[in-house]
Chain A
Amino acid sequence: MLSFKLETRPEASRTMSYLSPLIAVALTMLGGLLLFSALGKDPLEGFQVFFLNPLRHWYGVSELLLKAVPLMLIAVGLAIGFRANVWNIGAEGQFILGACGATGVALAMGDSSGPLVLPAMVVAGALGGAAWAAIPAFLRTRFNANEILVSLMLVYVAQLLVSWLVFGPWMDPDGFNFPQSKMFSDSALLPLLVEGTRLNLAFVMALGVLVIGYVFMHNSYLGFKMRVAGEAADAARYAGFSAKRMVWIGLLVGGACAGLAGMAEVAGPMGQLTDKVASGYGFAAIIVAFVGRLNPIGIFFASLLMALLFLGGEQAQLYLSLPASISKVFQGMLLFFLLGSDLFINYRLRVRLTLAKAGD
């Protein structure tokens, strides 16, 4: 008789923790094949359109990198908080506020060109995101209000705020009443890295932030303290690390990174602020942070994967006439499979073959 038993591993398996995301990706692709055939499409064709089509040309690859930029930026900021058990779920809102901050600068500058416009927008974007994240940080540290719910509620408020801005004070007077700001002048747009694509300087910025994030997490005392706070709260308390400071840092860093991503979006592919500025990057980045194991190197690859899911959705809409929201189904599946296979980091499955008659 075959019997299965779950056994606690003597210590968490490092191999499994790196293997688990790969297993999750494989299972997601398998799930995709099933999903396509359940929808009455040829599964192999679906797979090809979704996962391979976006990468056929160099332009597609540049689009992949472009989409990965906000994900990298947001996820690395979130990872710093998540490591310390600070659950900032409202990156989507902080992204919007970053976009608003950068837009404010761009509109105030008008047509005046100068080398300082972009740096000012970067600062305004980061500050906008950080300010929005400071609200849950303050309410958590001062009143103990749950940061998950507060940061999440502020996503809805941010969406309404940007809608008010582009329908009201910032609406382009020559925009035929569309909810959008004026197009930014050239000096407020991020320079392109490769002509003929939309890939811009923000990609370099994102790589820089990943490196800084890596150094902060692995080579700084503060990063070490935050990790201890997350993994062993009691030890952190005995060592005298301030829990409130962890909350502040976790949320402010996460907010600033999300704000940067928002800035890169309006100063990059969009070139203006619209009420549709947030397209789910803030939520997708949560998945990216987990799939990337809260580690900047992992986050780099996970961002590319998640960007592929976004592009795959667009392709599926074009060539398979499926709604683009299919990419969100894939995103959800990916996180489910990851959480499920993470079981085997701390446990292992013992399969025993015993004779039924042995009688124990």
Chain B
Amino acid sequence: MEQSLITSMLFATLVAGTPLIIVALGELITEKAGVLNLGAEGTMAMGAVAAFAATHYTGNPYLGVLAGMAAGALMSLLFGLLTLTLMANQVASGLALTIFGVGLSAFVGKPFESLTLPAVPAIRIPLLADIPLLGPALFNQQSLVYFSWALLGGVIWFLYKSRAGLILRAVGESPSSAHSIGYSVIGIRYLATTFGGAMAGIGGAFLSVFYTPLWVEGMVSGRGWIALALVVFATWRPLRVMAGAYLFGGVMISQLFIQGSGLQIEVPSQLLSALPYLATIFVLVLISRNQQTIRLNSPMSLGQPYRPDA
């Protein structure tokens, strides 16, 4: 295989995996606090359309990312209002958030449907980008790819090295103990949920501003759900989220791999497009097979409402 081909496939894998990393790490923090937000798909859609609109009007992709982030945070606040303040069922509310977000994004995005944005140039890191084979793939990348790495480091540090992360995990494992020591369970859950929403918004922004600089209804096409599955697959561990995301990134660009392999096989394009979804089911089965693993690793209070009885 040609060297440039390996580089370009690696490059494409990283790019395809990046929104998954960002969204899944956000959801990981949310879930670590005990909140199951199934609204990632709708939140990403809102983030994508907000980012596209903001970039279209300001010409600045980073203002777009900010707008996507804000839209995502607002969506998750809505979810928080329902599940944390009004104690609604988290599964149903998450579905509602997805249905609402997908619908609202289609509605507000209609005027932008035939527009495109200028491609955002990659950021080249001097010296590192000169490493043969890996350099151009790893260090001549979109800014949000670097951001996803920084986010990973930040999340690991926060969860396992910081006091705040310890409190967050305590809230997810045993909200009543955290409450009795004097922490505001609901407040912390609001923060964690908002963070998750903001990250899902950035993930959406990456899709509509950096990945394919355009907006089409349904462009998130299940990535929000795949990110949710990724958190389970990673057994709530940040580093594994990243590994899983790149695995899926690779599956998503399988078309490129088949072309690159030079094999003359006739595969319906639909089958290739179905691979990420089939792979998601496959890894879910793989990881859930052992009930013990899931039970040991999932936050104890995940999905359960909490009401401090004052």
Q: Which residues of A contact B (CB under 8 A)?
A: 87, 89, 135, 139, 143-146, 148-150, 152-154, 156-157, 160-161, 163-164, 167-168, 283, 286-287, 290, 322-323, 325-329, 331-333, 335-336, 339-340, 342-343, 347
Contacts and interface: CB of A to CB of B under 8 A. Distances in A.
Given A328-B102, A332-B96, A154 B277 contact: yes
A271 to B, nearest CB: 24
A164 B272 CA distance: 11
A139 B285 contact: yes
Contacts of A164: 268, 270-271
Given A149-B225, A153-B280, A329 B100 contact: yes
A169 B184 CA distance: 60
A329 B291 CA distance: 38
A238 to B, nearest CB: 20
A190 to B, nearest CB: 29
B288 A143 contact: yes
B90 to A, nearest CB: 10
Given A332-B104, A339-B86, A343-B86, A156 B222 contact: yes
A286 B102 CA distance: 15
Q: Which 9 A-B pairs have the closest CB atoms?
A: A328-B103, A332-B100, A325-B106, A339-B88, A323-B110, A164-B270, A335-B96, A160-B270, A153-B277
Nearest to A286: B95
Main secondary structure of the interface of A (DSSP, over half): helix
Contact of A326 (B107, B229, B278, B291): B107
Interface of B: 38, 78, 81-82, 86-89, 91-93, 95-96, 99-104, 106-107, 110, 217, 221-222, 225-226, 228-229, 232, 268, 270-271, 273-274, 277-278, 280-281, 284-285, 288-289, 291, 294
Contacts of A154: 277, 281
Contacts of B281: 135, 139, 145, 149-150, 153-154
B96 A150 contact: no
A146 B232 contact: yes
Given A160-B274, A283-B99, A329 B104 contact: yes
B105 to A, nearest CB: 9
Contact of B280 (A149, A168, A340): A149
Residue of A146, A152, A286 ringed by the most chain B CB atoms within 10 A:
A152
Nearest to A149: B229
A309 B96 CA distance: 16
Nearest to B284: A145
B217 A325 contact: yes
B107 A328 contact: yes
A146 B271 CA distance: 23
A340 B86 contact: yes
Residue of B268, B277, B280 ringed by the most chain A CB atoms within 10 A:
B277
Given A139-B285, A148-B38, A343-B88, A156 B270 contact: no
